Amino acid sequence: MPKITFVLQDGQTKVIEAPDGKTILQIALDNGIPMEHACGGNGFCTTCSCEVQDGEKMIAEGKVSPVNDKEVNMGVQGPIQRLGCQTQVKGEITVKPVEL
């Protein structure tokens, strides 16, 4: 089961175990971590933007899904900047939700 470390806006961290394949947004919402999602998690806005630490390495190691077409169309500058609703977690990662 993947472990996700969320770095919160106040600098505190919260470590969560979640099922393989869930998105960063789903994991955050399921665990009471505030994360905007104006489009309901459909990849049509950028309110769930987040930073995945060592994003390129995490993709190469298969710990997160690759940047997809929805992210590219929304101007996401992956592999570090990602949309939480589109990024599936498959391994241990560290994420910082972007404050709007």
Q: What is the CATH number of the domain that holds 56?
A: 3.10.20.30
Name the domain count of the chain: 1
User: For residue 54, what are its two tokens?
Assistant: 């060592």
- pLDDT tens per residue, range 30-75: 999 999 999 999 999 999 999 999 999 999 999 999 999 999 999 9
Indicate the pairing of strand 3-7 with strand 13-17. Answer: antiparallel
Question: Is the pLDDT at 78 greater than 90, yes or no?
Answer: no
Distance, CA of 88 to CA of 7 (rounded, Å): 18
Domain residues for 24? Answer: 3-97
Assigned token pair, 5: 């470390």
CB atoms within 10 A of CB 12: 8
pTM of the model: 0.94
Mean pLDDT of the chain: 94
